[in-house]
């Protein structure tokens, strides 16, 4: 029974992450697939870029919630809260949602880069670290107007903030923080290339679309 429950929670987390918010919102209210425009990603940043803030804000919020709710699914398990097994399950469910966001079964496995979903996961697991990392993101964004560079910088700063500044002693969270940093670099390889060539597009998240 316990094994079936755990498997069911992982499937639920993946399906939750697979909700292609940007794709469905764009098709429902604008008649377009955001993956065919801008950067080609089904994420909040590209939604802001292609459709503007009226579409970008709800897509961002839902994508963040996907990560948070996936982690909260651990509450339905038999594990004691704050136990190692419970924390491991939380992380596993968060990662399942992240995989769903990047490879959504409901959108031909063509999703986004997972930055917003990662934020939702981190907010639930380590709220103080997430607040500090979000501050890094905002500062870099205001200084450069590059969302990609802001995301990469925030992701790379996460292990430092969590493990050195906040002195985390949970080995699983330590490994998770490193994975997040590496994952964000890998998923932004094309952006890094464009940044080095000074070809990356700067964005104004508050600009109105015509």
CA distance 49 to 42: 11
- How high is the pLDDT of residue 33? 95
The end-to-end CA distance of the chain, in Å, is: 54
- How high is the pLDDT of residue 206? 56
Residue that is written with structure tokens 């398990």 in the block = 77
Structural domain boundaries of the chain?
A: 1-125, 127-203
3-state secondary structure at position 126: coil
Sequence-distant (≥ 6) Cβ neighbours of residue 50 within 8 angstroms: 26, 32, 34, 37, 38
- Measured over the CA atoms of residue 159, residue 138, residue 50 and residue 56, the dihedral's sign is positive
- How high is the pLDDT of residue 69? 97
Q: What is the pTM of this model?
A: 0.84
In the chain, which residues have pLDDT < 50?
210
């Amino acid at each position: 029974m316990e094994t079936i429950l755990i498997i069911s929670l992982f499937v639920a987390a993946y399906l939750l992450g697979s909700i292609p918010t940007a794709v469905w919102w764009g098709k429902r209210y604008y008649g377009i697939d955001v993956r065919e425009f801008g950067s080609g990603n089904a994420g909040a940043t590209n939604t802001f870029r292609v459709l503007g803030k009226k579409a970008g804000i709800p897509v961002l919020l839902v994508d963040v919630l996907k990560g948070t709710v996936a982690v909260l699914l651990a509450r339905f398990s038999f594990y004691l809260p704050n136990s190692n097994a419970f924390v491991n399950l939380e992380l596993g469910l968060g990662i399942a949602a992240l995989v769903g966001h990047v490879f959504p079964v409901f959108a031909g496995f063509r999703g986004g880069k997972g930055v917003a979903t990662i934020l939702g996961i981190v907010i639930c697991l380590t709220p103080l670290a997430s607040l500090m990392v979000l501050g890094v993101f905002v500062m870099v964004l205001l200084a450069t107007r590059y969302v990609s560079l802001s995301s990469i910088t925030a992701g790379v700063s996460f292990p430092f903030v969590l493990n050195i500044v906040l002195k985390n002693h949970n080995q699983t969270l330590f490994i998770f923080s490193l994975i997040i940093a590496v994952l964000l670099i890998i998923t932004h390889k094309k952006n890094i290339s464009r940044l080095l060539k000074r070809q990356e597009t700067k964005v104004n998240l508050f600009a109105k679309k015509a």
